A and B are shown apart, each in its own frame.
Chain A
């Protein structure tokens, strides 16, 4: 069960094992759940709706 209130998953697209605060250790190619606000150039968003999301004020 995802710890986050959405269905967004992210894939580590680098060749490095990466540690993300609040998510944990993610191996190269590994897909994990992520919060809706997640944004990092080292990851590809998977299953993310194309329509643009609206934030609640400034995060």
Chain B
């Protein structure tokens, strides 16, 4: 049997308690993903009397990480920002909610990615690095995530026969193999005749290995496969991706002036290339108490911008040579929110930026550009480095 990637889904949901999985219910169309568990297998090199290198593999430090790529709309972008930054108090109504974000501890999420029949679930998920760039007009987000655990597939630890109300998972992957499962999940158990039986979980036991369910007749041998059943995706009315053409960028000496400049096309600076990256530099080191990272802790935050604009005067060359402070405000409008006249909006403000590089390459027949790599700095005058605001149709309780 073969499976088409297009039929897969990304589902996500904020966790009430960090690192405690929930069943994700918000579905988001994917462009691509590369999230995986890294087991760091090493050859067992203990001297056992063999002349061949090794007779087995041993697990090392375990991590869960990778990239998720989506087209950003005002609804899904807010979830990825919620995994990256600290959300403030949401305001507004169904015709337009405003969600502020700033540097601070993000929420952790449980996410699921469908792989054929099974769901690959990660929990304790936070964004290590969030990159946004306009690709063929559309704002594309690449979220480099990390997680504190996963559940996807496993094996039956002890045989089942007749009417049973619980089963134990094998410890081959982890000493607490039921971690990541949630009451209400459906797991599929391979029967001895090769078919799979759906079981809805009514209990995920604190012993770390047992799951409970309503009485069922199951005949399955120890070692038979088990997997977390993938959901059927359901989508709320999807907003259109944010577009470069509906975006205005203001660049000025201060953030207040940049806001003013970004308010109209006449004063905004046309950018031919723009990308930003915000980094949490998450600590996912090993600690006692878990074979996976026990927590994901943001360390020093940082951000960079990449900008391409027409070279029209010496201003940016001076700014680079003389390390001149600038501020940048990007405001991108989306769809009109149903029931009113408010437009979805994504505004990100970088209160202090300075060019690290400012290239003005010459090519025959081409206009000269200012291609800049900017470092985002903490602005001591404004007492902030980055401010983000999202206006969308999703209530703050969803975050």
Which chain A residues have a beta carbon within 8 Å of chain B's beta carbons? 14, 16-22, 26, 34, 37-43, 50-59
Residue contact B198 to A20, C-beta cutoff 8 Å: no
Neighbouring A residues of B198 by C-beta, 8 Å: 52-55
Q: Is B195 an interface residue (CB 8 A)?
A: yes
Q: How far is the CB of B15 from chain A (nearest CB, A)?
A: 14
A38 to B184, CA, bound (A): 14
- Whole-angstrom distance from the CB of B44 to the nearest CB of chain A? 32
Q: Which 10 A-B pairs have the closest CB atoms?
A: A18-B234, A58-B117, A55-B196, A41-B23, A16-B236, A41-B25, A52-B216, A59-B117, A19-B235, A20-B234
B231 touching A41, Cβ below 8 Å:
yes
11 pairs across A/B with beta carbons < 8 Å?
Answer: A20-B234, A21-B233, A37-B232, A43-B234, A52-B197, A52-B199, A53-B198, A54-B191, A55-B195, A55-B197, A57-B195
- The SS class assigned to the B binding surface is loop
A53 CA to B229 CA, complexed, in Å? 13
Tally the A-B contacts, defined by beta carbons under 8 Å.
Answer: 74
Write out the residue numbers on chain A whose beta carbons fall within 8 Å of the beta carbon of B227.
58
Interface members, chain B 201-235 (any A CB < 8 Å): 214, 216, 227, 229-235
Check A18 against B236 for contact (C-beta < 8 Å): yes
Q: A14-B25, A18-B236, A21-B232 are in contact. List 20 more A-B contacts (CB 8 A).
A: A17-B236, A18-B234, A18-B235, A19-B235, A34-B232, A37-B232, A38-B232, A39-B231, A39-B232, A40-B231, A50-B214, A52-B197, A52-B214, A54-B191, A54-B196, A55-B195, A57-B196, A58-B117, A58-B196, A59-B196
Given the interface pairs A52-B216, A58-B1, the reply to whether A19 lies near B234 with Cβ below 8 Å is yes
| Bound: A15/B237 CA distance, A | 12
B396 → chain A, closest Cβ, in Å?
14
- Chain B residues contacting A22 (CB-CB under 8 Å) are 232
